[in-house]
Amino acid sequence: MFRYIVIEGPIGVGKTSLAKLLAKEFNARCILEKAEDNPFLPLFYEDRKKYAFQTQMFFLLNRFQQQKEISQLDLFNQITLCDYLFDKDRIFASINLNDHELALYEQVFHLLNAQISPPDLVIFLQAKPEVLLHRIKSRNISYEREIHMEYLETLIEAYNYYFFHYDQTPLLVVDTSEINFVNRKEDFDQLLREIRQMKKGTWYFIPMRSK
């Protein structure tokens, strides 16, 4: 069984929900990103160009500090679940920063990334943009009301491009558009079986209900 599992995917796809469910299933520790702690995030959704760099740098440094704490844990003693991959920061930076900001960001990122422990397994959750938008509106977080379909489509494309080329760890790609692993036990059980069967390389899981 994998000892350090990371769940990734665009906003609204269910990363945190799945991390909590798997942590309960595996009796694992659960490390969650606290996006709401970023004071620039509400401003970013109001004016992305103006506040993108501050937002990204805050996330980068905050995630680094949290990842350093993970590196100090005994990962062999207990399974660890995390609802983000440290590299995700670069996905957002690539679509939100201008060339000068991105060049500076990349210098800082590479200095920090060298100190991060990689996961044993990454689970990449996908969903159609209209599904994500519906889920985002359903959870009714005030600053997320400024998120539009165009931004989601750009974000999904950036995620798909990144993980199409990803080969650093075993990768399970899951289409979540037609399933509800939070409220439907059979959906969660399907996903659980796939995780337990995972080995090396990249696996694609299209749940039965979405076929």
Range 4-210 has CATH code 3.40.50.300: yes
Tens-place pLDDT, residues 41-53: 999 988 999 999 9
pLDDT band at 96 (very low <50, low <70, confident <90, very high): very high
Sole residue written with tokens 């943009």? 129
Phi-psi region at 202: left, alpha or beta (left = phi > 0; alpha = psi -120 to 50)? beta
Give 158's DSSP letter. Answer: H
Given the residues 47, 74, 83, 120, select the one marked as catalytic.
Answer: 83
CA distance 18 to 179: 12
**Cβ contact 15:65 at 8 Å:** no
* Mean pLDDT value of segment 82-97: 92
* Mean pLDDT value of segment 156-178: 93
**Cβ contact 211:175 at 8 Å:** no
Tens-place pLDDT, residues 139-149: 888 888 888 89
pLDDT the model gives residue 91: 92
Domain ranges, ordered by start, for the chain: 4-210
Those residues with Cβ within 8 angstroms of residue 21's Cβ, 6 or more apart along the chain or in another chain: 181, 182, 188
CA distance 84 to 182: 18
Active-site residue flag, 187? no
pLDDT the model gives residue 211: 44
For residue 76, pLDDT over 50 is answered with yes
pLDDT the model gives residue 189: 92
pTM: 0.91
How many contiguous H segments (helices) and E segments (strands) does the chain have? 8, 6
